Structure 1
């Protein structure tokens, strides 16, 4: 095999929500691949602990705060990779017909706002650099009729972010910037243990492979998507659903 190895040596990566399970997995994989990793989030205690584990930097940043996001990004000389895996203020466990409009719209508003702000801040660096990768996590696809989860507005939020991803990819592509979503069918390890059992059964039961993606799978796929090995991928979802979404 010829070409550059799949690594992130010399790359600066900012991960919003980096102290969470998915963000932490991506941060660990990026660190192992040689990137300079910077975690951002709202809770200093968890950020500090995860940063210490990885030898990463961290900053307390509310991804919904426009001034905070812009101020944090402006402190970097360059940003090569931006990942936003912040939670989206979703209200789950209530049938849609019993939800308030505020609860249904909450994840849509927070997802669109936070992803827009962090992507915009990174893109301003990346346009000047003529390179960069913006990663989202979630994606869309035809929902399974077998899933009985009451997810509220979460899927609508994913759809809205995917629309943003397509538009960003079109606008930023001429500047050498890629925009990619890691498309998930659910990561059981990211679910609190007390709720994991039935949810994991549903996730695995919908797959073609009879297993779900792990946090390690998420991290390794993120490295691929952000590295030069993934340089032909933009405006697209990288499917890590184990076949729960296909076609």
Structure 2
């Protein structure tokens, strides 16, 4: 298996993206450490992984709590012998449908700082252990595609994370640590379940329209790309994005 013997931490593992990637890591042989704030939702993902023959551990805490994030990463490295992959998929507030100039600055700032803080905290916690072992992979989900209107602070926050990702790749590369982004144009399956069906359908159509293959990325697409990115098959890749936009973004 591509991730056999690896220890992976997935922050936001109860969400659609985090859960899909966690299950993918489990299928690939990794021990998956699930982090989130809702024990019951984490237990469900862990149960799926274990039912498929994988190994999963659950830790319920707020991933914006620096002390808790640091302590958990240290415990994983000490108890299991390594910390090989850190993937941050924490959801963040944003104001879809709102032009940036119509937002209060506090709301825009919250969008940017929450996403940036989550990625920074999780990477900062993993880095000492990865540096010590001379290897590791840090993944984030997002990417900064062509500017779009009325997305609130979402794209601004994603752009900020991309700058941090590039800096981290430079600073950590000398220690054998790779830093990558998984970029999609949006995953229809990840839309909130309580969203009105008509709204879901309209948004899904909007996600498909810019693509070249007439479909958007699926949760399985994201999970498979994450497994590849975290594996030694991708050992030449760092400081870049894996473009999963199905042709919506042309590199």
* Same structural fold, with TM-score higher than 0.5 when normalized by the shorter chain: yes
Determine helix, strand or coil for the equivalent of 2:202: helix
Paired with 1:32 and 1:50, the residues of 2 have a C-alpha distance of 12
Q: TM-score, with normalisation over the residues of structure 1?
A: 0.93
Q: Which residue of structure 2 lines up, in the alignment, with residue 158 of structure 1?
A: 158
Determine helix, strand or coil for the equivalent of 2:98: coil
Determine helix, strand or coil for the equivalent of 1:75: helix
Paired with 2:228 and 2:164, the residues of 1 have a C-alpha distance of 22
Q: What is the 5 A alignment of 1:163-182? A: 163-182=163-182
Out of 235, 238, 241, the residue aligned to residue 242 of structure 2 is: 238
Q: Which residue of structure 1 lines up, in the alignment, with residue 53 of structure 2?
A: none
Q: CA deviation at 1:89?
A: 2.2
Q: Does 1:221 align with 2:221?
A: no
Instruction: Provide structure 2 residue ranges, at least 5 long, that are not aligned to the other structure.
Output: 51-55
Q: CA deviation at 1:98?
A: 2.5
Q: Which runs of 4+ in 1 moved over 6 A?
A: none
Paired with 1:180 and 1:244, the residues of 2 have a C-alpha distance of 19
Paired with 2:215 and 2:45, the residues of 1 have a C-alpha distance of 28
Q: CA deviation at 1:143?
A: 3.0
Determine helix, strand or coil for the equivalent of 1:141: coil
Paired with 2:201 and 2:156, the residues of 1 have a C-alpha distance of 25
Determine helix, strand or coil for the equivalent of 1:124: helix
Paired with 2:151 and 2:146, the residues of 1 have a C-alpha distance of 15
Q: CA deviation at 1:108?
A: 0.3
CA RMSD of aligned residues (A): 1.3
Q: Which residue of structure 2 lines up, in the alignment, with residue 74 of structure 1?
A: 74
Determine helix, strand or coil for the equivalent of 2:97: coil
Q: TM-score, with normalisation over the residues of structure 2?
A: 0.91
**Count of residue pairs the alignment pairs up:** 238
Paired with 2:140 and 2:100, the residues of 1 have a C-alpha distance of 26
Paired with 2:44 and 2:157, the residues of 1 have a C-alpha distance of 30
Paired with 2:239 and 2:167, the residues of 1 have a C-alpha distance of 8
